[in-house]
Amino acid sequence: MFAFRCRTCKQVHEGIPTFGWDWPLQYLEVPESERTRRCFLSADTCVIDDEFFFVRGCLEVPVVGEQQAFSWGVWTSLSQENFRLYEDLHDVPKREHHGPFFGWLCSHIWIYPDTMNLKTMVHLRDDGIRPFVELEPTEHPLAVEQRNGITLDRVGEIYEKMIHPPKNSG
């Protein structure tokens, strides 16, 4: 199994890690006292002001030589129409022939240059698996990594940056 010693805390970490967020960034921008009234939030979906529609997905990055991908649990905003379809298909086991849906990335993955509002395609997956989020193939470093894959060394580096964030990171 993949394991590495973190240079910061000296602990050995095992397995390919995953990081994710439980809400789109826009949810945090609604004042806390107004969230109950203005927001709906579940493990997979979020609606703000009946106007903005978000779904959670997996922005997966292949790891060279490994079966398992590195996965960012991210949110994207969909059009109302596509969001309704997503909801209608939520409990349908075979659904991957629908879509993909265009989505704006709504997670700030702060170890990269700004990731907010990167363009994505959201691919539904069968059997209750969260959708696969495919970035537009630009030169953004995260898009390059999703296209080309990353090494295990890079996985270790990402892990270390994420669990020992500098102050003022989101």
Using alpha carbons, list the distances in angstroms from residue 139 to 58, 66, 92, 142, 146.
20, 24, 35, 8, 11
Q: Which position among 1, 3, 4, 9 is part of the footprint of Zn ion (CB under 5 A)?
A: 9
Q: With CB under 5 A as the rule, give the number of residues binding Zn ion.
A: 3
Q: Which position among 5, 8, 34, 141 is part of the footprint of Zn ion (CB under 5 A)?
A: 8
Alpha-carbon gap, residue 63 to 50, rounded angstroms: 38
> Taking CB positions, which residue lies at the least distance from Zn ion?
6
41 binds Zn ion (CB under 5 A): no
Least distance (Å) between residue 3 CB and Zn ion: 12
Residues linked to residue 135 through DSSP beta bridges, in sequence order: 120
Choose the stretch contacting Zn ion; rule: CB under 5 A; options: 4-12, 35-43, 90-98, 123-131. 4-12
Using alpha carbons, list the distances in angstroms from residue 80 to 9, 30, 85, 127, 144.
45, 19, 9, 23, 29
Alpha-carbon gap, residue 91 to 54, rounded angstroms: 17
Q: Per the structure block, which two tokens stand in for 58?
A: 């997996």
Spell out, one character per residue from 49 to 88, where the chain touches Zn ion: x when CB under 5 A holds, - when not. ----------------------------------------
Q: Which position among 4, 6, 38, 152 is part of the footprint of Zn ion (CB under 5 A)?
A: 6
Alpha-carbon gap, residue 34 to 32, rounded angstroms: 5
Least distance (Å) between residue 156 CB and Zn ion: 10
In the three-class reduction of DSSP (H, G, I as helix; E, B as strand; rest coil), residue 121 is classed as: strand
Least distance (Å) between residue 22 CB and Zn ion: 22
For Zn ion, the closer of residues 89 and 163 by Cβ is: 163
Interface positions with Zn ion (CB under 5 A)? 6, 8-9
